[in-house]
Every structure is written in C-alpha cells, then in structure tokens.
Amino acid sequence: MTAATSLPGHAQVGIVGGGPAGLLLSQLLHAAGITSVVLEARSRAGLERLIRAGVLEQGTTDLLTEAGVGERLRREGAVHHGIELRYDGESHRIPLSMLTGGKGITLYAQHEVVKDLIAARIAAGGYLAFEATVTDLQPGGDGPAGITYTHAGKAATLSCDFIAGCDGFHGVARQAIPPAVRREFLHEYPYGWFGILVDAPPSSPELIYARHARGFALVSTRSATLQRMYFQCSPTEDAQGWRDGDIWRELEQRLATRSGWRPVEGPIVQRDVVSLRSFVCEPMQYGRLFLAGDAAHIVPPTGAKGLNLAAADVRTLAQALVAHYHEGRSDLLDSYSGRCLQRAWRAQRFSSWLTTLLHTDPTQPDFEARLQLADLQHLTSSKAAATALAENYVDLARH
C-alpha cells in the first residue's frame, strides 16, 4: 500500500470509498492509464471481513475478469444455472441458463471481491489510503474539484479533475449535492431479514426462495463450508434474543416440503437483522462529482442487484472518463446520470416486485395473499413469465 506521505496532492480522479465500487473503478482507470487516489474510512481488515451477499450477474463477472481480477473468481466461484422457488410445500426450479441462452449467476462473496481488488491495486502500486476520513468535498464547476481528508492524524487536500462518490448510503459524497438540486426517493418495507452465517456444507445446490404463511425464507451459500440463510422478521427484531434451536425451527417450518426436506444445520457463527429499503438519488452527478453504487441507490436484497448495480455504474463511469481523457469527449460524462438512473429504476422495479411477491405483510388481507399465490403459480407454469424472471435475475445490470 502506498504510504500516506507519498499520496499525491493531485490526481485525475479522486475516489471517495474503497469498497467494491471504488476499488473496481480505480482498477479500470489504471488499465486505461488514468490516475486515481482511493480514500477509504475503514481499515483494510475491516473491509475484508465485511461479509455481504455475493450473487454476481454475468455482466459483473465479465467486468471483473476484464479488470484483471477474475482468476480466483473463476477458480472458487460457484456457478449456478437455476434457482428454486418454494410455496405450498412444493419446489419449482427456474432454469436460468436454459431460459437466457446459457447465462447463469456466480456465487462469490463480496468480501472476496474486495480482497481481490485490494490485492490488485496494491500490486499495481495504486494510491490507496485506508482509515482516511473525508471531511469535505468541493464538487467544482469550471475549475478542479477537491477532497479534504484526514489520515494518520494529518489533514490534507487532494485536488482532482473529477470526484467519484463510492462511499455508500451513509457517506459524505451524496451530501455534497445541494439539497435544492438533489431529490431522494425512499421506500422502507414493513419487514426485515433475520440472517445467519452457518458453519456447514451447502443445504442445496442452488439458491432457495421460499414463500410461507409465516414469512419469506432464503437459503444461500458463501463457500463450501459457510452458508447464509435468512427468514423474514420485524425490522426491529433483536437478533441476539433468539436461541439457536428456535432459529432452526423457524427455518424448517418456512422451508418445509412435502418430501421432508431439511436444511443442513451447523454452528451459527454470525446473526444479524437487515432492514429492507429502496432508495434512489437524482441526479447522480453534480459539477465534477459522480455518484456510484450505494451512494446513489439501494435495493432490497431479494433481487441480488446491489453489487451488480454498483459494478454497472462503475463500468459506465469508467467508459465516460476514458472517452474524456483519450478522445476529448464530454457527452458520456454529461449523460452519466440519466443512463445509470434508467438502469437503477429497472432494478428497483424488479427487486420491489420480487420482494412483494415472496414476503407476507402482517397487515395484508387474505385477498392479497391469494394474489401472491396466483402470481407464483403463473411464474412456475408459464415459460414466458419464467423467462422474464430469469432475464432480470441474471443480467439486468448490464443493460
């Protein structure tokens, strides 16, 4: 890692946030000969321990490979060619690859993507500062932009041609867009996810999405020995108030089939409650500041679009910056927000639809529950409906 004392005072692109979006952008710009500095508030160890979902669309795996960080992904990632929908005690497979011309998804945890990107940036001698706190952004206008930050107890300023705000929902980048210019759309769902990490082999060769009268449940995987499972709960649920046996009984009830299927149990090594929200900020650019990833939009995790949308934003921004520096073009930078927002709203529509389809609302009348079942029956009996789901699931963020 480049030492703080050797960080330059100027870079073509200043990147706020060293999560997957910021790191991937820096890696793509490096390949195009464009200099960047990445400023990340968290420690390297903290970033690499942050276990998040890792369902990668085809376009995301292609982009990571293009960025030169696809070797371990290809070796260790689990390629899935379908998903399983469960309701009324029966399982129904949606053959993703068969319905989309061979496309599938790859399960490769987000923290592994981060590890690969950090290693690549350090190997390339990239400017990457951990535990660097950004205190102010100057989005710029006709002149250069600037980032004020502290690192190792010292204050510093980075001047740059452009700023990429990749610092997440709670970061400072979005706040640099004046309130009079910025419009935010927020929808909070009346339920959350109780999530557990389990030290056990996979319970299923593919992801399981289950609708049950008691609420939604999901079976996923992180590795050959680490599994991730969720069940719907109140967003204010106390994760530590549940005994292990009660957690397993709840999962078994919601995932039960008439054939007697049961999840593979093991030690629960982590538990938490995740609230569900949909969020979009418009516009995604102001002056010389460009937002990417969670700084601009949040989707409920049901559709597995968060990391994929971030990667798509970064791809779009990198292409625009390359066109600016190598071709003298500004059109792609000027249209960045509009192009990304169109894709973000498509992802919101899909994610909201899938979330509403599979979750039970305590205030929901029986009529609405019957409509859910009718929709699921249509989805699992109509090739056209299943194809629409598959196309959105495996490659929505590429377009």
- Residue at 330 is within a domain: yes
Catalytic residue among 209, 230, 286, 325: 209
- Residue at 333 is within a domain: yes
DSSP-based three-state secondary structure for 237: coil
Which of 18, 334, 343, 344 has its CA nearest to residue 162?
Answer: 334
Whether 230 sits among the annotated catalytic residues: the reply is no
- Residue at 89 is within a domain: no
Q: Are residues 166 and 258 in the same domain?
A: no
Q: Are residues 25 and 35 in the same domain?
A: yes
Q: What is the pLDDT of residue 361?
A: 85
pLDDT range class, residue 207, cuts 50, 70, 90: very high
> What backbone phi and psi angles, to 5 degrees, belong to 126?
-70, 155
pLDDT range class, residue 2, cuts 50, 70, 90: very low
Whether 80 sits among the annotated catalytic residues: the reply is yes
CATH number assigned to the domain comprising residue 283: 3.50.50.60
Q: Are residues 266 and 284 in the same domain?
A: no
Percentage of the chain with pLDDT > 90?
Answer: 90
CATH number assigned to the domain comprising residue 243: 3.30.9.10
Mean pLDDT in the chain? 94
- Arithmetic mean of pLDDT, 101-113: 93
Percentage of the chain with pLDDT > 70?
Answer: 98
Q: Are residues 391 and 317 in the same domain?
A: no
Q: Are residues 12 and 128 in the same domain?
A: yes
Whether 263 sits among the annotated catalytic residues: the reply is no
- Residue at 169 is within a domain: yes
Q: Are residues 194 and 318 in the same domain?
A: no
Q: Are residues 342 and 368 in the same domain?
A: no
pLDDT range class, residue 397, cuts 50, 70, 90: confident
Q: Are residues 170 and 258 in the same domain?
A: no
pLDDT range class, residue 11, cuts 50, 70, 90: very high
Domain hosting 11: range is 4-80+102-185+277-353
Length of the chain: 399
- DSSP code, position 263: P
- Residue at 177 is within a domain: yes
- Alpha carbon 108 to its chain's center: 12
| pTM, 2 dp | 0.94
pLDDT range class, residue 3, cuts 50, 70, 90: very low
- Residue at 88 is within a domain: no
Rounded to an integer, what distance in angstroms lies between the CA atom of residue 147 and that of residue 135? Answer: 8
Which tens digit of pLDDT belongs to each residue from 272-306?
Answer: 999 999 999 999 999 999 999 999 999 999 999 99
Q: Are residues 202 and 72 in the same domain?
A: no
Q: Are residues 282 and 270 in the same domain?
A: no
State how many domains the chain has: 2
Q: What is the pLDDT of residue 64?
A: 97
**Token pair for residue 250?**
């709840």
Catalytic residue among 20, 263, 300, 301: 301
- Beta strand 154-165 with 289-291: parallel, antiparallel or unpaired? parallel
Which tens digit of pLDDT belongs to each residue from 54-89?
Answer: 899 999 999 999 999 999 999 999 999 999 999 999
- Arithmetic mean of pLDDT, 162-185: 97
**Token pair for residue 260?**
């007697």
pLDDT range class, residue 366, cuts 50, 70, 90: confident
Residue with tokens 């991937």: 24
pLDDT range class, residue 92, cuts 50, 70, 90: very high
Which of 162, 206, 169, 165 has its CA nearest to residue 184?
Answer: 169
Q: What is the pLDDT of residue 170?
A: 95
Catalytic residue among 108, 127, 336, 393: 393
Q: What is the pLDDT of residue 72?
A: 96
Catalytic residue among 103, 111, 297, 305: 305
- Arithmetic mean of pLDDT, 205-218: 96
pLDDT higher than threshold 70 for residue 141: yes
Angle at 204 between CA 377 and CA 54, to 5 degrees: 95
- Residue at 115 is within a domain: yes
State the maximum Cα–Cα separation within the chain, in Å, rounded to a whole number. Answer: 67
Catalytic residue among 80, 81, 103, 359: 80
Q: What is the pLDDT of residue 120?
A: 97
- Arithmetic mean of pLDDT, 132-155: 92
Q: Are residues 317 and 342 in the same domain?
A: yes
pLDDT higher than threshold 60 for residue 4: no
Q: What is the pLDDT of residue 1?
A: 41
pLDDT higher than threshold 90 for residue 208: yes
Q: Are residues 321 and 348 in the same domain?
A: yes
- Arithmetic mean of pLDDT, 294-320: 97
Could you write out the DSSP letters of every residue in 32-91? Answer: TT--EEEE-SS-HHHHHH-----EE-HHHHHHHHHTT--HHHHHH-EEES-EEEEETTEE
**For 5, left (φ over 0), alpha (ψ -120 to 50), or beta?**
alpha
Q: What is the pLDDT of residue 5?
A: 46
- Residue at 85 is within a domain: no
Whether 87 sits among the annotated catalytic residues: the reply is no
